[in-house]
Structure 1
Amino acid sequence: MSVVLFTLGGTIAMAGSAEGGVVARLTGAELVAAVPGLADLGHTVDVRDTRAVPSANLTYRQILDLVDAASSAVTGGATGVVVTQGTDTLEETAYLADLVWPHPEPLVFTGAMRNPTLAGPDGPANLLAAARVAAAPAARDLGVLVAFHDEVHAARFVRKAHSTSTAAFVSPNAGPLGHVVEGEVRMLTRPPRLDPLAGVDRDRLDAVRVALHTVTLDDDLLIDLFRNRDGLVVAGFGVGHVPSELAPVLGELAERVPVVLTSRTGAGSVLRQTYGAVGSEIDLQRRGLVNGGLLDPYKAKVLLRLLLAAGADRAAIAAAFARHG
């Protein structure tokens, strides 16, 4: 029985540089060697170094290729899979993987906020927790998970909510699914899984471009900026509102490409039928915008791009957001 570890660089794998600062230099074997207690996991850890890059440089295709490799690992008998990467984009990459992960075996993402040159680096503890989650029967059939700070989060809910704290990852709408306590994975809740998306054309995915616009006070929006985009996610005020002057602009754009309405707040749902003024959620939906529900803007962008790459029409996109949001 084994847990397969794929490494993608990031803070967890960084070491000092002669030029100053830290850079990704540690291999998976070096990461594993620095984790006390990993030998007591009861499963061998099969290390597979993938690429050592800042997570800001990762692409959709690279993550989908990683999912393919992880899928082959579990098909070959692995109990579960762990992925280490930088935390900057972890909430997006984990959700991207979750949308296409078809297996009951856990696929667990983790990383670190404090690099190994600092006192109290959190990488070893996070890696140990992730390996325990990947090996735990209790973590099966939950999709892609994020193990951080001895908490277990669902990829569909998790957010990075702090730039430096070791407790940066939270799930504001749902809370953690479970915890790692004294080495035991204790799952407290089990949200139902959604069926994975199918039919994503990777060549088409590379060509699909989705923009994200965050609405701000006294905002304007130049529609010409988005004429060469295949879709748009709008992060609106509060429950899904924009300045009234933007409403017809977004409506015009929604006649040509899918426009998804989300909230910039970081928690809570876009409403559907409460406010009726120009620029409110009712008005914007009448103009053709798709309600993003509980999905934050970053996850909505991931979902919309995958749907467009799969050739989904407007009705299919609206139905998908109704399920996932």
Structure 2
Amino acid sequence: MPRVAVFSLGGTIASTSTPDERGAAGGVTPRLGAGQLVEAVPQLRDVAELETVSFRQIPSGDLTLRDLVDLAAEITRRFDRGVSGVVVTQGTDTIEETSFALDLLVRGPRPVVVTGAMRNPTLPGSDGPANLLAAVQVAVAPAHAGSGAIVVMNDEIHAARFVRKTHTSSPAAFRSSTAGPWGWIVEGRPRFAFRLPALGTRFSSVCSDRIPAVALLTSTLGDDARLIAQVGKLGYGGLVLEAFGGGHVPAHVVPALQDLGERVPVVLASRTGGGETLQKTYGSPGAERDLLGRGLIAAGFLDGLKARILLSLALAAGADIPAVREAFRQVNMSAVDGSCT
């Protein structure tokens, strides 16, 4: 049987309630490790030989890029020892960021599948066991070799580069609005709708102690430039700006963006969460042609959260502004090629 390593990081899928001092039920907290999660799903024995690693036991909002660099290194060591695939369980709040970080950090063709739960184990209809089983089934499927990190939730398969959490509590919270789900699972069989090229950029030399802070701001109606001006003063290594629509900002904000972009990378994403930033349609001051002509970097199909992950890791790997620009270009070349499997 194929060997799969299951790493647990905490989150809802691993959370149980803890009585307070008077014996009343308190809120749920991450308490279950990888071994306990696997033991709760006996059907896993028919899918793969499993190794379990309780890597972290925290809410996903407490995870950092440093944690993910360390996790990626441990995943790579497991691959070097011969495991066929890796499954990571964690809280759903940051899956869209952590899965994309692992996509950029883990080398090699073998799959990294990230999953979690929207309903904790104390609730009727907890979805954690089904999601874990589906994730392992995807991890041993050969059809997606070399395509990068995957998110499996609610019997849907999503590419890490596209997926977003779109609801606070629904089991169907995860969507890939730009490309749609990559596939689905039926009767325990993963099915893939199209072939997904590997990312054009990966980082194998990132030091977890040298990851600079990157700011993320969102353009709003009537916004001014005061926060943009503070980014450089506060020592951020770069900025991702979620702009209006296809990549537009108020005209009066442009000088501050240009001034900052001459010193640190400034990446232009869209606040819509779907589609790509435009490059040559609108020409008014503050539109995408104007901003890109002043040195800003197009995020392409990456939303603001994922653009921030890519910019952070590129800077941690020592990239200057031209190298950051090239990293975003390479990632955006790894869109869908349209061929079915």
Report the TM-score, using the length of structure 2 for normalisation: 0.92
In the TM superposition, residue 36 of structure 1 has moved relative to its aligned partner by 4.4
Aligned counterpart in structure 2 of residue 280 of structure 1, from 274, 277, 287: 287
Q: Which residue of 1 aligns with 2:239?
A: 232
Task: Identify the residue that residue 61 of structure 2 maps to in structure 1.
Answer: 56
- Tell me if 1:93 matches 2:107: no
**1:24-68 deviation per Cα after TM superposition (whole angstroms, max 9, x unaligned):** 111222211222421221x21111111100011111111111111
Amino acid at match of 1:156: R
Q: Which position in structure 2 is the counterpart of 1:80?
A: 85
- 2:207, 2:316 within 8 Å by CA — same for their partners in 1? yes
Per the alignment, residue 311 of structure 2 pairs with 304
Aligned to 1:15: 16
The total of aligned residue pairs comes to: 322
Alignment of 1:249-288 (within 5 A): 249-288=256-295
| 1:173 paired residue number | 178
Instruction: Say whether the 8 Å CA contact 2:13–2:116 is kept in structure 1.
Output: yes
State whether residues 229 and 260 of structure 2, in contact with CA within 8 Å, keep that contact through their aligned partners in structure 1: no
Aligned-residue sequence identity (percent) comes to 51
Distance (Å, rounded) in 1 between the aligned partners of 2:144 and 2:136: 11
Partner of 2:163: 158
CA deviation profile, 1:106-146 (whole Å, cap 9, x unmatched): 11000000001111000000000001111111232211111
In structure 2, how many angstroms separate the alpha carbons of the residues matched to 1:34 and 1:10? Answer: 16
Normalising by structure 1, report the TM-score: 0.96
**Following TM superposition, where does structure 1 have runs of at least 4 consecutive aligned residues deviating by more than 3 angstroms?**
none
Identify unmatched segments of 5+ residues in structure 1: none
CA contact (8 A) 2:75 2:106 kept: no
Quote the RMSD (CA, aligned, Å). 1.2
1:213 matches 2:217: yes
What residue ranges of structure 2 are gaps of 5+ in the alignment? 21-25, 333-341
Aligned residue in 1 for 2:124: 119
1:39 maps onto 2:45 in alignment: yes
Match of 2:250 in 1: 243
Specify which of 304, 323, 329 is matched with residue 322 of structure 1: 329
Shift of 1:202: 2.8
- AA at the equivalent of 2:74: A
Q: Contact conserved, 2:219 with 2:244, CA < 8 A, in 1?
A: yes
Q: Which residue of 2 aligns with 1:201?
A: 207
Q: Within 2, Cα distance between the matches of 1:74 and 1:237?
A: 42
Mean Cα deviation higher: 240-249 or 28-37: 28-37
CA distance change for structure 1 residues 288 and 236 in 2, over 3 Å: closer, same or farther? Answer: same
Give me the whole-angstrom Cα distance separating, in 1, the residues matched to 2:78 and 2:240: 35
Q: Aligned with 1:105: secondary structure?
A: coil
Letter matched to residue 132 of structure 1: Q
Work out which structure has the larger RCO, using CA pairs closer than 8 Å and 6 or more positions apart in sequence: 2
